Amino acid sequence: MARLFNRNFIVGVTGSIAAYKAAELTRSLIREGANVRVIMTEAACEFITPLTLQALSGHEVHTDLLDTEAEAAMGHIELARWADALLITPASADSIARLVQGRADDLLGACALATPAPVFVAPAMNQEMWAKQATQDNVQTLVSRGIAILGPSSGSQACGDVGAGRLLEPDDIVSAVIAHLCTGTLSGRHVVITAGPTREPICPVRYISNRSSGKMGYALAEACINAGAKTTLISGPVSCEPPSGVTVINVETTQEMFDASMATAATADIFIGAAAVVDFKPTTVSDRKIKRSGVEAMDLSLVPNPDIIASVAESKARPELVVGFAAETHHVQDYARKKLASKSLDFIFANDVSDHSIGFNSEHNAGVLIGRDSDIVLPMSSKRVLAESIIEELSKVLD
Ligand code: PMT
């Protein structure tokens, strides 16, 4: 099974004799289904050519912070946002020290600062350098900032020394990354998620709907699977590929989404409403195509649909956490807070859908996870990274 299917990885290669192992690592990530883009520091290019990693990753290797051509294709901020994970391997003693300082005078440093994605560091250096207090202090600082350190392993080194400081083998690095991403924090829990739009038919060929692509809801489902939860996805019509392991219930209308939600929420620990539900439906649905000819004007009479998430939140078998999404264009957080209260939710994620770089159909999203007594700002990132942050926060509350 491709355990990193469609995940976007930046592999950052720094100046170390172990840089050649980045080639095997890139292949391993791709074998696991990941999309890989490589950043090389100037020193890394002394040990292995960018051409090798370009051929293996299928993309031009990024080397310069101030390369106008590269910036036009995919600038460092765009690259940082594209990533679902940044994996610095091999990480030299110098590159670790630079990360600690927050240096942004090369592309790798700037991306490490700019990315909201999880950062993994696989050190490789001489055993004496690894053992030095300065390096150990630097590593501890990175750990305290939430950066995962993978390895190093022990053994004979290229310089002839024997000891700790060898880069982990590429397959072991990939396994460690998978173990980090698949946290298991929701194992034994059941999460039900609604995703995508609903459709309300007007006649056999026309319907009312909206621009939801389902990407946000599907990313949440993937994060739940990675966290070990039994995951049910109630999905409106979308073209997203469901993550493996998810039980998908396909629906079309709001009433169908309502019925599926009420039936499954009864056994759920968490219910998340990421769907863009159509609030009103036509009073009557024509069983024949409504003809254009001879019609000068047409009125459409609408009646309200049930409020799915409010009904789940008020049901007798209420899940422990009921989490809504608020798609707003103005006064985003104020309206979201009102929905949190009026729908009896535990959390609501407020996103500004007037910003076309996030929200509907975008690969990215950003917003504030509003609780009854907490606000957590989640900066712009891929929907996958954002979903992982939301699920991590919800897991903490369940604990
Ligand atoms: O699908 P994407 O293209 O990835 O876009 C993601 C998204 C913008 C759709 C998503 O991030 C989002 O904001 N989803 C909620 C959209 C919405 O309907 O918001 P709302 O403010 O109208 O509704 C508030 C909450 O009530 C939502 O959890 C909604 O699912 C729920 N609701 C609304 C109406 C209704 N009749 N029943 C409901 O359960």
CA-CA distances (angstroms) from residue 81 to 114, 202, 204, 263, 382?
A: 8, 40, 41, 37, 6
- State the pLDDT at residue 329: 95
Is the shortest distance between the CB of 257 and ligand 1 below 6 Å?
no
State residue 215's pLDDT score: 97
Atom of ligand 1 nearest to the CA of 367: 11
Q: For ligand 1, is residue 332 a contact (CB within 6 Å)?
A: no
Domain boundaries, given as residue ranges, for the chain: 8-181, 190-398
The residue to which tokens 């007037």 are assigned: 354
Q: Is 361 in the pocket of ligand 1 (CB under 6 A)?
A: yes
Q: Using most ligand atoms within 8 A of CB, pick from 254, 309, 370 the residue to mutate for ligand 1.
A: 309
User: Which pLDDT score is estimated for 71?
Assistant: 63
Q: Point out the residues of the chain with pLDDT beneath 50.
A: none
Beta carbon of 214 within 6 Å of any ligand 1 atom? yes
Ligand 1 site, residue 121, Cβ cutoff 6 A: no
Burial of 201 (0-12, 13-18, 19+ CB in 10 A): middle
**218 pocket-lining for ligand 1 (C-beta < 6 Å):** no
DSSP state of 62: B
Examine domains 8-181 and 190-398 and report if their fold is the same. Answer: yes
Where in the sequence numbering do the catalytic residues fall? 159
Question: CB under 8 Å to 266, separation ≥6 — which residues?
Answer: 315, 317
- Using alpha carbons, list the distances in angstroms from residue 381 to 241, 268, 378: 20, 28, 8
Output the pLDDT for position 6: 87
Between the CA of 338 and the centroid of ligand 1 the distance, in Å, is: 14
The model's pTM: 0.89
The residue among 398, 384, 21 whose CA lies nearest residue 220 is 384
Domain 8-181, CATH class in plain words: alpha beta
How far, in Å, is the centroid of ligand 1 from the Cα of 273?
A: 6
Beta bridge partners of 393: none
What is the torsional sign of CA 147, 378, 215, 112? negative
d(CA 191, CA 10): 30
Determine the pLDDT at residue 1: 62
Give the CATH architecture of domain 190-398: 3-Layer(aba) Sandwich (3.40)
**CB-based contacts of 353: which residues, under 8 Å, 6+ apart?**
327, 328, 329, 359, 360
Q: Report yes or no: 334 and 317 within 8 Å, Cβ to Cβ.
A: no
Counts for the chain of helices (H) and strands (E), in that order? 15, 19
CA of 289 to the centre of ligand 1 (A): 29
CA distance 359 to 129: 46
Residues 17-46 as b/e (b if ≥16 CB within 10 A, e otherwise) read bbbebbbebbebbbebebbbbbbbbebbbe
Does residue 390 line the site of ligand 1, with CB under 6 A? no
Residue 5 alpha carbon to ligand 1 centre in Å: 26
89-101 residue pLDDT tens? 999 999 999 999 9
Ligand 1 center from residue 317 Cα (angstroms): 22
Please report the pLDDT score of residue 73 as a whole number: 64
Whose Cα sits closest to atom 33 in ligand 1?
277
Residue with CA closest to ligand 1 atom 28: 324
How far apart are the C-alpha atoms of 107 and 91, rounded to whole Å?
A: 14
Model confidence pLDDT, tens digit, residues 334-352: 999 999 999 999 999 999 9
pLDDT of residue 317: 95
